[in-house]
Amino acid sequence: MARILGGLGLHPVFRYEKFRATYTLAGIPALKIELDETPVGIYVELEGPPPAIDRAARLLGYARKDYLTDTYGSLYLAACHRDGRKPADMLFPPTKKSR
């Protein structure tokens, strides 16, 4: 795929890595619960129709005030700013990739 996109003149501007585990919740079939481990933290991502997301969030003990809608790119930039690092690609250290 990278070769096809490169052939079209496209090139990556930001790469990020994550480890993801996908779960479902009985009674809410239209929803996926994604547990994402990224270089800037671990996040629970609820994917599905808004009513299903709200219901699952309540069942998991979260309220709307707990929701984040930031992208991983913006979370990474905020972490770089907070830590005084220059942004690059959001990648795990080589030792982490051997999971």
> Over 90: is that where the pLDDT of 95 sits?
no
> Over 90: is that where the pLDDT of 77 sits?
yes
* Stretch 34-39: mean pLDDT: 96
Counting residues of the chain whose pLDDT is more than 70, the rounded percentage is 96
**How is the chain split into domains, by residue range?**
17-85
- pLDDT confidence of 32, banded at 50, 70, 90? very high
CB proximity list for 80: less than 8 A, separation 6 or greater: 86, 87
Radius of gyration of the chain from Cα atoms? Answer: 17
* Stretch 21-48: mean pLDDT: 95
* Stretch 92-97: mean pLDDT: 80
